[in-house]
Structure 1
Amino acid sequence: MKMAKGFIKTLSVLCLTVLCHSGYAEEDEGIPTLPEYLLPCNQKDPELDICIKGSFNHLRPYLAKGLTDLDVPPVEPLFIDKLVMENSAGPVRVTAAFSNITVVGPSNYTVTKIRSDLKKLRIDMGLVLPRIEATGKYEVSGQVLLFPVRSQGDFWASFSDVAAIVKIFGKEFTKKNTKFMTADRMVVDFKLRGSRFKVRDTKQ
């Protein structure tokens, strides 16, 4: 699955905004005044995970409108230029490409759990989304058994009660003699309770 570069950048900067100011700095001196959308945490706080969870949830209304000073576009709605899914094993070999995707609902996320290990630069996050709707263009090509499959047109999708686990692997960098953590890699696993999908084939 290949996501749009802009979507990946949005997720990376989202993690960076929380992690860089989550108290990972060795000293508080020299850290600039934080914007109102960032709630700082202290790594020595015994309730650090709760603080980080609160920081992510505090970001919701600001992410919906975008963070212009960090070049993060609004996530409500969220625009994804292209998403590709492939199955190249077995009797079903299909490639589905979705483009010009508009997603409504991502800013309604709630972070439910945080498990952090700043020594290993690792944060695991559980979050839920009550509902997500997506519209856009699709193109499917491939083969099922001996039969070719070709279709393209418009699609609409709805997903309800989405639960996701996000694993964030960080790396350390130094700025003005202060150590910070930024998101280097993320792994996302999710499940959903309900889904609906409609397509309108416009291929002649």
Structure 2
Amino acid sequence: MNSFFIINISCLLVGYVVLQQIPSYVPLCKRKEPDLSKCITNSINTLGPYLVKGIPEMNLPPGDPLHFFNATIRSGGNSAVALEAESWNHTAFDLMDFNIKDFSLNLENINLATTIQFPSARIKGHYHLKAKILLFDINTNGFYEINATNVIANVHSDGRRYMKNSKEHIELENFVLDIQIETAKINFSNLINGNEELTEVANNAINENINVVYEELRSIAGQVLGDIVVLYFNSVFRLFPMKELFPDD
């Protein structure tokens, strides 16, 4: 085999191994830490500024803005709201300016509970909406933007252990999220099929009665934040074994 080829392959493999090393600026918590949950909380909060640009060594993408997945919502709602909505090409802003208010990770039973506060959050993307909202019958598509403040996400999850390359890893699954939003404003383009004046009227009416679509907003936020929690935690857990993330000493 060509020696030049062997050298290049070796360099690639070495580079790959280096990329899988935990960066020195990431605070690690020992498995037998007296207060493991507090240590993890401080570690995650410390990483907020780094998560804005992403941490490629840990397979974490740039977080502001953050591009993510599709969402589908169907709601019988109440007398004021009934809708079917699909949205895609989402972009979220300000989500890396978070504060972990409470955190508990049981490494024996593999379950997680945490409360995360987002002082502000902005999400925009494409939508298709078939709905009755207030007095408006809507069947259209366009762009949307949601601006929310003081979003509180309560996250619960269990998980499993598995072996990868003879090393123990964990994976979180079965996420349950409860979302609370203090204030929110939503804007749709082309809400009334190209009629800008009626679209403005409809947007104003929706925001003046934002409580009638509150559950739908919670559903959107829940899907978005749930996907993000899964992405960030499991990306790290899949890449690094337990003994590297939580060393014994």
TM-score category of the 2 structures, normalised to the smaller one: 0.7 to 0.9
Provide the secondary structure at the position in 2 that maps to 1:98. strand
Structure 1 unaligned segments of length 5 or more: list them: 1-31
- Tell me whether 1:100 sits opposite 2:89 in the alignment: yes
For the residues of structure 1 that align with 2:169 and 2:141, how far apart are their CA atoms? Answer: 46
Q: Give the 5 Å matches for 1:170-185.
A: 170-175=159-164, 177-185=166-174
Tell me which residue corresponds to 1:150: 139
Deviations 1:3-37 (A, max 9, x none): xxxxxxxxxxxxxxxxxxxxxxxxxxxxx963235
For the residues of structure 1 that align with 2:116 and 2:69, how far apart are their CA atoms? Answer: 24
Provide the secondary structure at the position in 1 that maps to 2:41. helix
* Aligned partner of 1:129 among 101, 105, 118: 118
Provide the secondary structure at the position in 1 that maps to 2:96. helix
- Tell me whether 1:196 sits opposite 2:178 in the alignment: no
Provide the secondary structure at the position in 2 that maps to 1:69. helix
The answer (yes or no) to whether the contact 1:108–1:129 under 8 Å persists in 2 is yes
Q: 1:134 to 1:42 in 2, by over 3 A?
A: same
Tell me which residue corresponds to 1:163: 152
Between the two proteins, the alignment pairs up a number of residues equal to 172
Identity %: 22
Shift of 1:90: 7.0
Structure 2 unaligned segments of length 5 or more: list them: 1-19, 195-249
For the residues of structure 1 that align with 2:158 and 2:44, how far apart are their CA atoms? Answer: 16
* Aligned partner of 1:68 among 51, 56, 62: 56
- Tell me whether 1:118 sits opposite 2:110 in the alignment: no
Q: 1:94 to 1:33 in 2, by over 3 A?
A: closer
Shift of 1:88: 4.4
The answer (yes or no) to whether the contact 1:37–1:62 under 8 Å persists in 2 is no
* Aligned partner of 1:52 among 40, 45, 50: 40
Question: Which deviates more, 122-131 or 62-71?
Answer: 62-71
AA at the equivalent of 1:152: N
Structure number with larger C-alpha Rg: 2
